[in-house]
A and B are shown apart, each in its own frame.
Chain A
Amino acid sequence: MTDTAPILALDNVSKVFNRGGSTVHAARAVSFALHPGRTLALVGESGSGKTTAARLIMREYRPDQGRLLFRGEPIEGSAVRDMKAYRSAVQMVFQDPFSSLNPVHTIRYHLERPMRLHQPSLKGAARDAAIAEVLTRVKLDPALILPKYPHELSGGQRQRISIARALAVNPEVIIADEPTSMLDVSVRLGILNLLNDMKRQLKLAVLYITHDIATARYVAEDIMVMYAGQIVEWGETESVLGNPQHPYTRLLLSAVPDPDRRFGDTRFSDELDRIDLIRRQSALEQPEVREIGPNHFIRPMPV
């Protein structure tokens, strides 16, 4: 994949939720690794387990099985001090820019607080300079933005603040969970470009979670397709999207809006005619892994 060692990895992680007698496999033997300077996209429909993967990384959930590795070391049982280092190294950008900022605080507060917590040595003018720097990075004017409250900003501006807040603690890993799905198309591209710039300039490792595969193609070198808690196909983005092998990946791709495929055009209806069957079979456990090309794998459906 790459020469660099992964900064963060999930190793065979499983997470099961029991609710009202039924069992939901939110993560089933999930393994992936994040590398500095690369974006890994995690795509799938709602309920496929994408956000569970993010929460496992953010330590909101503990895995039932498997390990979370940070710089090659298991994070489970780490000392409190190490956990704090982990928290400042791994930051999250949320989906909803309208609810992820506190309405009663100014933008200055939102950026100052992570710095106070994670870089207590940074004070006064030096901290102000650091705040101005992250805002400039996300292409906002510090003088204009700092005294404002979240409601005074547009959705795109707020999402830039969310990214600035994540960058304020000098992270190495960014977990972005659907960061553009609530934004207008014209604003969306600016945020995607920003994520691409950050990755290149700061050598960040990014996990980009989305249901919009076209945007995943725009930002990610590698991609994973998830369904019912399992990663059914993964590899280099162009290889997976150009030559999809798992029936679920093909179904997902055939449903992506494409102006070149009119509705009712039967040439493309193969997977769309078998939606229920593909869903049912893809939800079964698929333990086998098959390599179908250089850095391109699938878990074949049971026959």
Chain B
Amino acid sequence: MNDPVLSIRNLSIDYIGATTDFHAVKNVSFDIGKGEFFGLAGESGCGKSTIAFAISRLHRPPALIRTGSQILLDGRDVLTLDDQALKQLRWREVAMVFQSAMNSLNPVLSIERQFYDVLKTHTGMSRLSARARAAELLKLVDIPADRLSAYPHQLSGGMRQRVVIAICLALNPKLLIMDEPTTALDVVVQREILERIHKLRQELGFSVLFITHDLALMVQVSDRIGIMLEGELVEVNDAQAIYRTPQHGYTRKLWASIPRLTGKPIAEVTP
């Protein structure tokens, strides 16, 4: 791939235990291209969220990234950055939407204040220009600017999730990481939000790392998909190939465990 935005090389992450270590991520390598929508799928505990946290160095002990691992963002190894450089990296280059992001908004601050918080810390923007920028960002996610004065509890779950996405886009990051961003929402709202992200990344050109266990959804929206099993990346391919001609036995089994809305309720496994 020419000029990937993110390039992960030989990433190994262990959770250090008292007697034994748990190998959460085992020698994983993959690239995400500029403007690419990359999906990472697997069951709970397979290591996909651990990778997401490691990319912006948000992992905490007992998680330990083993030497020899590289996380290159635009060619720069995130793992070698000092605190000051990390501060520059977060939000500005990589922004992350968490699974329960809608609950990550501060309940006692208005929506405007939450935008201002990020904009002031990272760009030193004034209150007035932050307000204008926040209004502009809310418009991107189909929320009228008059909701700036609202508090999180006055918005629905789907709206809160869109506010978080808008804050993530505030500093034009190169990479947006979304860890199960719509799992707590119902299908219609999920569709609205992902449809919006799909359009925004075409307009703004950022790349997306999308993490979910919903393989059908992932195929709908991703360009390429990686399948993880117990810390290993067992298959990486174009989304359509993962769907139509899965190579790894585990990928085939995953498809066979998902009830379908049309045709046969369950796909046949071809061993």
Partner of A186, one of B43, B157, B185: B43
| Given A217-B259, A263-B194, CB of A275 within 8 Å of CB of B188 | yes
Q: For B43, what are the chain A residues with a Cβ–Cβ distance below 8 Å?
A: 184-186
Q: Restricting to A262-301, which residues have a CB under 8 Å from any CB of B? A: 262-264, 272, 275
Determine whether the beta carbon of B261 is less than 8 Å from that of A213. Answer: yes
| Residues 89-105 of B at the A interface (beta carbon under 8 Å) | none
Q: Closest Cβ of chain B: how far from A150's Cβ, in Å?
A: 17
- A184-B261 contact in complex given A211-B186, A211-B187, C-beta closer than 8 Å: no
Give the A interface residue count (CB, 8 A). Answer: 31
Please tell me if the beta carbons of A255 and B190 are within 8 angstroms of each other in the complex. yes
What residues on A are CB-neighbors of B262 within 8 Å?
A: 241, 258, 260
State A177–B65 Cα separation when bound (angstroms): 40
Q: Are A258 and B186 interface neighbours, CB within 8 A?
A: no
Complex CA gap A114/B99 in Å reads 36
Of A188, A211, A257, A264, chain B has the most CB atoms within 10 Å of the CB of A257
Query: Across the interface, which residues of B come within 8 angstroms of A83, CB to CB?
Result: none
Residues of B within 8 A of A241 (CB): 261-262
Contact between chains at A263 and B186 (CB < 8 Å)? no
Distance in angstroms from A99 CB to nearest chain B CB is 15
Given the known A-B contacts A184-B43, A257-B220, are A263 and B198 also in contact in the complex, defined by CB atoms under 8 Å? Answer: yes
CA distance A188 to B259 in the complex (A): 10
A124 adjacent to chain B (CB < 8 Å): no
A-chain residues with CB within 8 Å of residue B220 when the two chains form the complex: 257-259, 261-263
A214-B261 in contact (CB<8A): yes
Centre residue among B198, B217, B261, B262 by max chain A CB count within 10 A: B261
Q: How far is the CA of A258 from the CA of B217 in the complex (A)?
A: 6
The answer to whether A257 and B214 touch (CB under 8 A), given A211-B187, A218-B265, A241-B261, is: yes
Q: How many residues of B contact A (CB 8 A)?
A: 33
Any A CB within 8 A of the CB of B219: yes
A-contact bits for B152-188, CB 8 A (1 contact / 0 none): 0000010000000000000000000000000001111
Residues on A with C-beta less than 8 A from B194 are 263
In the complex, number of A-B residue pairs with CB atoms less than 8 Å apart: 86
B257 near A189 with CB under 8 A, answer yes
Most buried by A among B189, B190, B257: B257
Contact B257 A214 (CB under 8 A): no
CB distance from B22 to the nearest CB of A (A): 16
A64: chain B residues within 8 A (beta carbon): none
Min C-beta distance of A171 to chain B, whole Å: 25
B122 at the interface (CB under 8 A from A): no
Q: Taking the nearest CB of chain A, how far is it from the CB of B245, in angstroms?
A: 13
A151-182 near B? 1/0 per residue, CB < 8 Å: 00000000000000000000000000000000
Chain A proximity of B267: nearest CB distance (Å): 10
List, in ascending order, chain A residues with CB within 8 A of B243's CB. Answer: 259
Smallest CB gap from A259: residue in B = B219
How far apart are B177's CB and chain A's nearest CB, in angstroms? 19
Contact partner, A192, options B188, B254, B259, Cβ 8 Å? B259
> Whole-angstrom distance between the alpha carbons of A272 and B198 in the complex?
15
Near A by CB (< 8 A), chain B positions 225-271 give: 243, 253-254, 257-262, 265-266
A255-B190, A262-B220 as given contacts; A184 in contact with B195, CB under 8 Å = no
Q: A241-B261, A258-B262, A259-B220 are in contact. Are A184 and B187 (CB under 8 A)?
A: no
Q: How far is the CA of A217 from the CA of B189 in the complex (A)?
A: 21
Interface string of A184-203 (1 = CB under 8 A from B): 11101100100000000000
Q: Which residues of A are found within 8 Å of B80, using beta-carbon distances?
A: none
Which residues of A in the span 84-119 have a Cβ within 8 Å of any Cβ on B? Answer: none
- 0/1 per residue, B188-206, Cβ < 8 Å to A? 1111101100100000000
Closest approach, in angstroms, between the C-beta of B13 and any C-beta of chain A? 21
Partner of A272, one of B195, B217, B258: B195
By a CB distance below 8 angstroms, the chain B residues around A255 are 187-188, 190-191
Say whether B73 faces chain A, with CB atoms less than 8 Å apart. no
Which of A186, A211, A254, A257 contacts B254, CB < 8 Å?
A186
Contact call B216/A257, Cβ cutoff below 8 A:
yes
* Residues of B with C-beta under 8 A to A45: 186-189
- The 9 tightest CB contacts between A and B, nearest first, are A257-B217, A259-B219, A45-B186, A257-B216, A218-B259, A255-B191, A255-B187, A214-B259, A184-B43
Which residues of chain B have a CB within 8 Å of any CB of chain A? 43-44, 157, 185-192, 194-195, 198, 213-217, 219-221, 243, 253-254, 257-262, 265-266
Given A184-B44, A186-B43, list of 13 further CB < 8 A pairs?
Answer: A213-B187, A214-B258, A214-B260, A217-B261, A217-B265, A218-B265, A253-B261, A255-B190, A256-B187, A257-B220, A259-B215, A272-B195, A275-B192
Residue pairs across A and B with Cβ atoms less than 8 A apart, 5 shown, are: A184-B213, A185-B215, A189-B257, A189-B266, A251-B188
